[in-house]
């Protein structure tokens, strides 16, 4: 039986993982879960799966959990380091599905403990950079991507050797504003931005899909994970999100991975890699689909993709700043302090600063991320009077 820990168990990815584990109770044991503050979800999951340890970042939520969990033989850890503590407990695989760079420290803890990581938390890799992957290699463990695009690329790369790869097509749905003009986007509300046409996701990922900063983060993730130059990664819009990404080989062949737009697929593969198991996702019926449409990403309307490409060229400090500025600007937009297009303006302005100072060894990523966020907050505050992160 494989032992599993889920970081972010109440979230969108966490829920897909639980759905997968319900299909395979004989093959997997969910040992530990980490959440932020949703103690009710923690209680329900711990009861259903018989978890031995629950981590809750919020001490008050942990108190409620302890009060209500009478009879449950389950240890509770709380506080800001709780997720890292459970990530370091030995298991076969840790699913990293916390949102944002706050998920970095638990991923590092899992790698240091030589736990294999199924990584949904792309921000952790963007911040940790190649150093995090090198550390995983040194410790003979691995980081397996769970983002549907990177899971697809991993599968497509099995068809050839690294030196035979010509380019990578990173696909995108185009998000809720695929057809919106810049003028319309300038008036977009939070509800508009979170209204993703294909994927049900947590709010940060949904907003990042609207700005396409999500694709920027994924471009950085692709460059690091598969050691490929940012200029060799193209972003391809497939509105139905049925083609999850593709790899071009030197002989003119293109290997693509297709499947229904359902994260149980990539989450299941991340947990079982390199094996495959039933995920509950039905096979794709191409005759029923009939037509797949594609177009190039519009960098003029969605500049975050090229900003991320440039960040990879500049180095890890710039990638760190891309993420930090995006997180700060995203929070400001969500609380109504700035408009939608000001998100990209804040990222652009922050990337124009000296970002080299945020390049950090794996153990210094947390303070470097905090410094980058402090800079982004000050930049936004100075430029947009109403900007203040709550
Ligand atoms: N959703 C998708 O389809 C999708 C696809 C590909 C990649 N991803 C990536 O996967 C990650 C998760 O995305 P999501 O959409 O699943 O996010 P989400 O729905 O917002 O869920 C976030 C999870 O993290 C937990 N959490 C927050 N702060 C925490 C802390 N300090 N310690 C421990 N747990 C904490 C939350 O717990 P509470 O509920 O208690 O706050 C929740 O369980 C992101 O990096 C995203 O980019 C998501």
Mutation to probe ligand 1, out of 6, 7, 13, 211 (largest number of atoms < 8 A from CB): 13
**Residue from 21, 17, 76, 18 nearest 43 by CA:** 76
Q: 121 CB under 6 A from ligand 1?
A: yes
pLDDT of 387? 59
Considering the chain, what is the average pLDDT of its residues?
96
Q: What is the tens place of the pLDDT at every residue in 286-336?
A: 999 999 999 999 999 999 999 999 999 999 999 999 999 999 999 999 999
Q: Is the pTM of this model over 0.75?
A: yes
Backbone angles phi, psi at 165, to 5 degrees: -80, 130
The residue contributing the CA closest to ligand 1 atom 21 is 11
The residues, any chain, with a CB within 8 Å of residue 132's CB and separated by 6 or more, are 107, 108, 111, 124, 125, 143, 362, 365
pLDDT at residue 182 greater than cutoff 90 = yes
Q: What is the tens place of the pLDDT at every residue in 131-171?
A: 999 999 999 999 999 999 999 999 999 999 999 999 999 99
pLDDT of 29? 98
Q: What is the tens place of the pLDDT at every residue in 186-207?
A: 999 999 999 988 888 899 999 9
What is the number of helices (H) and of strands (E) in the chain? 17, 12
Please list the residues that pair with 172 across neighbouring strands: 237
* Centroid of ligand 1 to alpha carbon of 106 (angstroms): 13
Q: Which tokens hold the place of 61?
A: 């939520």
pLDDT of 119? 98
Task: Tell me if the bond preceding 274 is cis, omega within 30° of 0.
Answer: yes
- Give me the helices (H) in the chain, please: 12-22, 39-49, 59-68, 82-87, 104-112, 122-138, 148-157, 182-186, 190-194, 203-211, 213-225, 264-272, 286-289, 304-314, 316-334, 340-351, 365-383
Q: 40 CB under 6 A from ligand 1?
A: no
pLDDT of 150? 98
């Amino acid at each position: 039986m494989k032992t599993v820990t889920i970081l972010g168990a109440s979230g969108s990815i966490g829920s897909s993982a639980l759905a997968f584990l319900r299909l395979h109770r004989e093959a997997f044991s969910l040992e530990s879960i980490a959440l932020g503050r949703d103690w009710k979800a923690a209680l329900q999951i711990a009861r259903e799966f018989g978890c031995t340890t629950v981590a809750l970042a919020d001490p008050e939520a942990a108190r409620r959990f302890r009060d209500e969990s009478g009879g449950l033989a389950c240890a509770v850890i709380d506080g800001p380091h709780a997720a890292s503590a459970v990530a370091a407990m030995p298991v076969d695989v840790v699913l990293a599905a916390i949102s944002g760079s706050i998920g970095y420290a638990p991923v590092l803890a899992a790698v240091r403990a030589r736990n294999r990581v199924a990584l949904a938390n792309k921000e952790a890799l963007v911040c940790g950079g190649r150093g995090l992957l090198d550390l995983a290699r040194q410790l003979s463990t691995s980081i397996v991507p769970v983002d549907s695009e990177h899971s697809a690329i991993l599968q497509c790369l099995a068809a050839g050797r690294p030196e035979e790869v010509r380019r990578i097509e990173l696909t995108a749905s185009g998000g809720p504003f695929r057809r919106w003009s810049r003028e319309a986007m300038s008036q977009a509300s939070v509800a508009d931005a979170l209204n993703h046409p294909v994927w049900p996701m947590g709010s940060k990922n949904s907003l990042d899909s609207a700005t396409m900063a999500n694709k920027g983060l994924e471009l950085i993730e692709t460059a690091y994970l598969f050691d490929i130059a940012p200029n060799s990664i193209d972003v391809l819009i497939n509105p139905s999100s049925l083609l999850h990404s593709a790899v071009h080989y030197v002989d003119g062949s293109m290997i693509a991975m297709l499947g229904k737009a359902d994260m149980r697929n990539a989450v299941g593969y991340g947990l079982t890699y390199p094996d495959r198991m039933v995920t509950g996702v039905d096979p794709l019926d191409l005759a029923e689909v009939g037509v797949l449409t594609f177009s190039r990403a519009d960098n003029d309307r969605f500049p975050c993709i090229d900003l991320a490409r440039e960040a990879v060229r500049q180095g890890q400090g710039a990638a760190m700043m891309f993420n930090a500025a995006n997180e700060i600007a995203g929070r400001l937009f969500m609380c109504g302090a700035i408009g939608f297009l000001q998100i990209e303006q804040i990222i652009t302005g922050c990337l124009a600063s000296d970002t080299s100072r945020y390049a950090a060894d794996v153990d210094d990523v947390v303070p470097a991320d905090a410094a980058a966020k402090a800079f982004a907050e000050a930049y936004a505050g100075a430029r947009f009077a109403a900007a203040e992160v709550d």
